[in-house]
């Protein structure tokens, strides 16, 4: 009974993984049709674009390694809205022996090395206890049109938060709307790895904790500075331990004075 259940499950997983190799009868359309469908949705289109960049070395044959970035791009692509990205993974290159079709088959073949890791990551997506990297969390959100819109509002309305100045009600609103998005759930708990592109993940989290949620317990404000526009900048430091921290505090206060 149990083994039957497991083997059923596994065949589902393998279905995703190997349908490309085993030509499952169910037709999803050709790759170019599916690409067209995906590109007509902004989120899926974004995920496809990210995949193109992150997996370029692999799909073009420069490398045979499925890098972390490429794995994440694939997870984001197959998670994108309404299965649009999933269909893409399952697509068929088409009949014939044209240059385009051969190129498509080659690409698909090369991406196969990613299958196991990607499927495992994708399976754990719905498990709230699984912490993922913030890059992937961001890509998951970007792969969904409404999450992407919320993310864009957030970026627009929270520029002062990103600078550590303030959490305006406009910004806080945008953030709350963003976190209500299903595809943004992992953004709450994701792991800042320091390799995020375009933003400072751990600073962002720190500013959000302190400025928006008043979680000052783990951070301490060591000074503030009012700039020309009357906005206040805060400098935070984790709870001091000993003399070194005292020196840093003094240094920051001195810096503050110099800057004002």
Q: For ligand NAG, which residue of 109, 112, 176, 238 counts as binding (CB under 6 A)?
A: 176
The distance of closest approach from Cβ of residue 152 to ligand NAG in the complex, given in angstroms and rounded to an integer, is 8
> 88 and 48 in contact (C-beta within 8 Å)?
yes
The yes or no reply on residue 214 touching ligand NAG (CB under 6 A) is yes
DSSP SS3 for 260: coil
Q: Which one, 18 or 219, has the nearer CB to ligand NAG?
A: 219
Q: Which one, 173 or 218, has the nearer CB to ligand NAG?
A: 173
The distance of closest approach from Cβ of residue 185 to ligand NAG in the complex, given in angstroms and rounded to an integer, is 16
How far CA 47 is from CA of 67, 146, 205, 225, in Å, comes to 16, 14, 24, 40
Q: For ligand NAG, which residue of 75, 121, 212, 222 counts as binding (CB under 6 A)?
A: 212
The distance of closest approach from Cβ of residue 165 to ligand NAG in the complex, given in angstroms and rounded to an integer, is 12
The distance of closest approach from Cβ of residue 202 to ligand NAG in the complex, given in angstroms and rounded to an integer, is 20
Reported as type and span, the H/E element at residue 240 is none
C-alpha angle 109/70/147, rounded to 5°? Answer: 120
Nearest alpha carbon to residue 246 among 259, 257, 234, 237 = 237
> 14 and 116 in contact (C-beta within 8 Å)?
no
Q: For ligand NAG, which residue of 9, 60, 159, 173 counts as binding (CB under 6 A)?
A: 173
Site for ligand NAG in 142-171 (CB under 6 A): 153, 156-157, 167, 169-170
How far is 153 from 161, CA to CA, in rounded Å? 13
Stretch that binds ligand NAG, among 116-124, 210-218, 227-235, 242-250 (CB under 6 A): 210-218
Q: Which one, 80 or 157, has the nearer CB to ligand NAG?
A: 157
How far CA 162 is from CA of 52, 125, 136, 142, in Å, comes to 29, 27, 20, 19
The distance of closest approach from Cβ of residue 235 to ligand NAG in the complex, given in angstroms and rounded to an integer, is 18
Nearest alpha carbon to residue 133 among 198, 221, 193 = 193
List residues binding ligand NAG (CB under 6 A): 153, 156-157, 167, 169-170, 172-174, 176, 212-214, 216
């Amino acid at each position: 009974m149990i083994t039957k259940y497991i083997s059923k499950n596994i065949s589902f997983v393998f279905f995703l993984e190997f349908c490309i190799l085993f030509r499952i009868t169910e037709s999803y359309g050709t790759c170019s049709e599916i690409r067209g469908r995906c590109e007509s949705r902004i989120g899926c289109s974004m995920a496809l674009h990210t995949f193109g960049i992150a997996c370029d070395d692999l799909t073009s044959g420069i490398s045979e390694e499925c890098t972390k970035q490429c794995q994440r791009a694939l997870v984001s692509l197959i998670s994108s809205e309404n299965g649009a990205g999933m269909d893409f993974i399952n697509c068929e290159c088409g009949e014939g022996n044209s240059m385009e079709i051969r190129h498509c088959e080659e690409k698909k073949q090369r991406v196969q090395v990613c299958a196991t890791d990607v499927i495992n990551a994708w399976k754990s997506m719905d498990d709230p206890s699984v912490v993922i990297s913030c890059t992937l969390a961001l890509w998951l959100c970007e792969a969904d049109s409404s999450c992407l819109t919320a993310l864009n509002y957030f970026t627009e309305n929270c520029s002062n938060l990103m600078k550590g100045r303030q959490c305006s009600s406009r910004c806080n609103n945008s953030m709350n709307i963003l976190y209500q998005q299903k595809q943004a759930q992992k953004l709450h708990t994701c792991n800042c790895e320091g390799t995020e592109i375009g933003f400072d993940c751990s600073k962002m989290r720190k500013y959000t904790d302190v400025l928006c949620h008043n979680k000052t317990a783990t951070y301490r404000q060591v000074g503030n500075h009012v700039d020309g526009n009357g906005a206040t900048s805060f400098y935070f430091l984790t709870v001091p331990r000993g003399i070194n921290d005292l020196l840093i505090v003094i240094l920051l206060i001195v810096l503050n004075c110099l800057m004002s």
